[in-house]
Structure 1
Amino acid sequence: MKMRGIILAVAALLYTPLLPAQSGDDGNTDSPELPFLDLRRVELISGDAAAGREKTQICANCHGPDGIAVVTEFPNLAGLSADYMYWQLIRYKRGVNPSPMTPLVADLSEQDMRDLSVYYASLPVPSAVPAGDEEPAGDLTPALLHKGKQLYLAGDPARGIPACQGCHGADARGPAAAHRILPGGQAPYAAYPALRGQHYGYLQTKLAGYRDGDMDDSTSGFVMTGVAETLDDDAIQAVAGWLSSLQIGASPTPTSPPIR
């Protein structure tokens, strides 16, 4: 059905989820009767980056000591939004859609998750994709990269594919309104991630997971599932390839002061 992704995205904004999540809760959100996290109603988190650094021993095995993943199947964490990472940890901890991360975060406290997220957000992003990265460059032809750029920036209305930049920013560094705070204290865009320079293999796996309905346990997941359902394998490869080909650059994800 044409424009299905856009329709689902609008529906998610109107949908009243079963679990209004607040970043000030105790992290105990694993009730099977409450499957959705309402990430439109969260507040910006805080944490202790220095304390987070002391808690990264296990994380570094996959995500590297500097937040740059050791293999392309794992995401880079350096410079990602602290709010995005925190809510990802909450999602893994809930275990609604079990993953290899679920047992790794089982013993993390609320403060642990905040501290780790703030620490990785504080790390500088590299100026370019790391040398030696095993991205399959031979598969990323100029035509495929051009297709990925077009899909990211403009979508494909004829196929119902919305533009990715609407949620992830024109430069793929996250939405410009990531730190916008509503009068009630909510930051509805805080949990949208930056994608620029992320690993090709990770992006492919993530998009395919959304398309297969494996990550529809939050309002953001609901939106992304609807969008990913409009993508075939070629489109996923193109978008993931283009994003991974971008130099990450010195500028981190948006860090402008809160807008009230």
Structure 2
Amino acid sequence: MRYVRVLRDLCGVALAVAAFGGLPARAADVAAGKAKAEQCSGCHGENGISQTQNIPSLAGQLDQYTQWQLVYFRSGARKNELMQPIVEQLTNDDIRNLGGYFASLTPPKAAAPDDNPDLSRKGAQAAAGRGCARCHLDNFAGTKAVARIADQREEYLNKALHDFKSGQRVGGGVAAMADAAYPLSDEEITALAHYLAHL
């Protein structure tokens, strides 16, 4: 059932790629992105650093990753009742500019010192064992359309991994992430989220 859902969602992604990918590439207008991002700050925080539980920080997130996630939300391939009404109004230029703006911001730092180094050690072992660095790189800063996950909110990482594991999360990289997250135990997910949030 999980793979049927993945295949169905990949069809939606293919339509999004066809709609977005055929446009000529233009440089982002970071100032326009900053102005458009004012509507994002209520949830994603000032300067893209979230203070809201289960809402990711966007500061320092990779340009291509942010753009593609917005395309997936806009096409309906990725669903979120709060994001959908906002993203439906975005033009391709808005998406390009938002990607450039959030990529230009300083990434967040861990919100608090690591209060559980043993859990972080287990998370580091899980990250190495599951090959997370193959896509997210050794420093977990991501690359191109692969997310930056270093110093992301811990509870958001926990939720995202559980959503990938259960098949609830769709959008870019869903097949790779579903395969990576499916065998994770709840304990490994907790440890991974803690480790990545405190890099």
TM-score (norm 1): 0.65
Higher helix share: 2
Is 1:166 the counterpart of 2:139? The answer is no
Change (3 A) 1:235 1:79: same
Tell me which residue corresponds to 1:46. 27
> CA separation in 2, counterparts of 1:122 and 1:239?
27
Tell me which residue corresponds to 2:6. none
Tell me which residue corresponds to 2:157. 203
Q: Give 1:214 shift.
A: 1.7
CA RMSD after TM alignment: 2.5
Q: Give 1:71 shift.
A: 1.7
> CA separation in 1, counterparts of 2:147 and 2:62?
6
Tell me which residue corresponds to 2:97. 115
> CA separation in 2, counterparts of 1:103 and 1:68?
22
Is 1:224 the counterpart of 2:177? The answer is yes
Count residues with an aligned counterpart: 187
Q: Higher Cα Rg: structure 1 or 2?
A: 1
Tell me which residue corresponds to 1:238. 191
Tell me which residue corresponds to 1:185. none
Instruction: Give CA-to-partner distance per residue, 1:38-73, whole Å, 9 cap, x none.
Output: xxxxx9773110111111121010111211002231
Change (3 A) 1:82 1:163: same
> CA separation in 1, counterparts of 2:50 and 2:180?
26
Aligned AA (1:163) = G
Aligned AA (1:212) = S
Q: Give 1:163 shift.
A: 1.3
> CA separation in 1, counterparts of 2:170 and 2:86?
21
Tell me which residue corresponds to 1:253. none
> CA separation in 2, counterparts of 1:96 and 1:121?
23
Tell me which residue corresponds to 2:43. 62
Aligned AA (1:171) = N
Q: Give 1:217 shift.
A: 4.2
Aligned AA (2:192) = V
SS at match of 2:72: helix
Structure 2: tracts of 5 or more residues without a match: 4-9
Aligned AA (1:230) = P
* Identical residues among aligned pairs (%): 32
> CA separation in 2, counterparts of 1:44 and 1:143?
46
Q: Give 1:143 shift.
A: 2.3
Tell me which residue corresponds to 1:254. none
